[in-house]
Amino acid sequence: MSVPHAPHTFGASTTAAEVIDGVDLHGRRAVVTGASSGIGVETARALAAAGADVTLAVRNTDAGAEVAARLEKELPPESGKLTVGRLDLADRSTVAAFVAAWQGPLHILVNNAGVMATPELTRTPDGQEWQFGVNHLGHFALATGLHRALAAADGARVVSVSSIGHLFSPVVFDDLDYRYRPYDSWTSYGQSKTANALFAVGAAERWADDGITANALMPGNVGDTSLARHMDMEQVAAFMASGELALPPQKTVEQGAATSVLLAASPTVEGITGRYFEDCAQAEPVAERAGAVSGVAPYAQSPENAARLWTVSDALVR
């Protein structure tokens, strides 16, 4: 693969199309979860435009089919093939079915789907708190289930979409499912996004000998997605006024997908693994949440936390 841009030309305003320009993914196969809306659509578009055959792994296959049909009309003729697969991350049986149906190598897995700020305590059919169950455990089951396919690709990349929201909470191992502490939609979201970051750390350690790299990312403040459907904007305003939450400048959906595409396909990050990115670059550590609009908390990059989470998650999805 080759790319005409130097790494330093990528930044906060870079779009997915700019990242993928000059990259050839013909012969590669990719899965993008949550590719029926938001940055998932733009991630799938960019990878397919570069020649990858992309499976849109979605809960609503009718919506996925509509997206695939639209993209096929918009993409150039030399683009990769688009297919749609059913995947409900809250329903372990659909994850198992998706894994069982997959044949052959998998070169790119983008764990993009997610829910945010679910207002009331809700549990998955397996009894896990909804945001942790969907955002982390569903993707954990998917990625580990597809491990053989990723290893067979000889240089596969796994991309885990996290968020600056991870600053709201570490993974609280003693009470993952809010059985003892009062439920809070934001600490719950934060815990799940920390888990997304720690998954990349754990996968990087365990799967290095298989040639698999794994990295996490913050896509940016992308307001125009279905992810924000549960957000209480008055609560967000109160957080910002109190200094408890600061948001980076808003991005378009095309800009929001750029870092995912960078980690999925760009030669500029070849061999990098176990890291956390934002604005198409590795994030700097942040010491405290108040006032932070960027960066990654040390607890979300801790190998010890990652190892513990892997063990716990593996037991929960069996």
Identify the active-site residue in 178, 180, 183, 189. Answer: 189
CA angle 276, 279, 280 (to 5 degrees): 70
H/E stretch holding 55: strand 53-58
Calpha distance 28→48 (Å, rounded) = 10
Tell me the two tokens of residue 110: 């983008």
Amino acid (one-letter) located at 184: D
Calpha distance 143→203 (Å, rounded) = 9
Could you confirm whether 178 is annotated as catalytic?
A: no
> Please, which residues have CB within 8 angstroms of residue 44's CB and are 6 or more apart in sequence?
30, 32, 35, 54, 56, 67, 71, 82
Calpha distance 258→278 (Å, rounded) = 9
Q: If you compute the radius of gyration of the chain from its CA atoms, what whole number of angstroms results?
A: 18
Torsional class of 178: left (φ above 0), alpha (ψ -120 to 50), beta (otherwise):
left
CA angle 72, 15, 250 (to 5 degrees): 115
Q: Of 242, 158, 233, 173, which is closest to residue 203 (Cα–Cα)?
A: 158
Calpha distance 122→125 (Å, rounded) = 10
Catalytic positions: 189
